[in-house]
Structure formats: C-alpha cells, structure tokens
Amino acid sequence: MIAIIDYGMGNLGSVMNACRYLGLEASLVKTPAALGKAKAVVLPGVGAFGDCMKHLVGQGLAEAIREWILAGRPYLGICLGLQILCNGSEESAGVNGLSIITMRVRRFESLPAEMKVPHMGWNQIHINESACGILKGIGDGEFFYFVHSYYVPETEDGTAAWTEYGTRFCSVYHCGNLFAVQFHPERSHRAGLRVLRNFAAIAEKT
C-alpha cells in the first residue's frame, strides 16, 4: 500500500485519482500509526512551507516521515513535498524543515519581465542521473507541469534532474529510496504517470 500523506493541505484528490488510474493500491494517511502497513510514502504539496510543517508537526507526522526516510524506505515528495526536505525556506522565516537536504529553499528573484512568479506551466527537465529509478523511460528534455514560487537550488549530490526558469534549480532529487520532484506528476499526463508507476515499482521491490 502507498500511503498518501493527508495533512489538511495539498492536491490529494489528483494524486489519488492518478493512483487509481494506474491501478495502484493507495490510501490517505493522517497519523504515524497508519504508516505501519505502507510500503511507500507520497507527500503531495500545495501551499505555504510554514503551514505544511505546522500541520505535519501537529499530527506527529514530521518526525515519522523523517525517520521513514532515514530508514531508507521509499518516499516520493511532490512540489512542497520536496521543499520541506530542506533546512528551511525563505517563504517561512524561522520554520524548520525536515533537514534531510542541507539546503534552504529560495524564492525566484530578479527574473526578466516576461518571466512571472509563480513559475506556472510546462517546462523541461534535464537529466543528470540516468539511473534514477523514477526517471526510467523518461527522456532528457521531457516536459512536466510546474506551479511554484520557491525552488530548491541545485545540489552537488542528489540533483537527478534540473530545470531552468531564470535560474537553474533542482527539479528531481534522488538519494537511495528518497525521491522528490518539483513538478506535479499527477498533472503531467503520460510522463507524470510514468514517474508514479516507476515509483510504485520501486516500492514493490523494497
């Protein structure tokens, strides 16, 4: 079973619908105890960094997710589900993230006039790590759907793919069984469904 984290925010319906379409067994999870039957965790994300962390901490899920990841169990973060892996974000001063990625989330600044914030719409990913499991069958330059005002900078290790929008940023992060994407696979048609299917296959083998 894939546990989709329900913390009172996020695009849960779209992610659940994508899982159903693919024939994947998935359930909404609101408590750490409910993770016991799960093979994998998906954390969808829409909204503010600080609000997300407040809900996760309040439900006891922040530490449970951190322990899950550090134990090497399959995790897929989507959009904000990538950003909360960092130490913190310019969006929410003084709010700590999960500190899995030693990086601070930044806001798009000093963009050309034609580039609006949020970064919204279709954009390409450029693959650094062809062996990244969730990118199996995905070509370099493939288009995915993005909606975000903040981004995770490229990292020396872990940036499996990058995207450019005024600046280069990490659009796919990978380390072991930890995967996270800045785009929305559930809104990215065939390529996005391929990412979700690939993640489910990894979870089955773990």
Task: Give the active site residues.
Answer: 79, 184, 186
**Between 12-21 and 189-205, two packed helices, what is the crossing angle to 10 degrees?**
80
Q: Are strands 150-151 and 168-175 parallel, antiparallel or unpaired?
A: unpaired
What span, in angstroms and rounded, lies between the C-alpha atoms of 36 and 17? Answer: 23
Residue whose entry in the numeric block shows the structure tokens 């016991």: 36
Cis peptide before 118 (omega within 30 of 0): yes
b/e per residue, 118-128, with b = 16+ CB within 10 A?
ebeeebebebb
What span, in angstroms and rounded, lies between the C-alpha atoms of 22 and 29? Answer: 19
Name, in order, each residue with C-beta under 8 angstroms of 84's C-beta and a sequence gap of 6 or more.
43, 45, 49, 52, 53, 56, 77, 97, 98
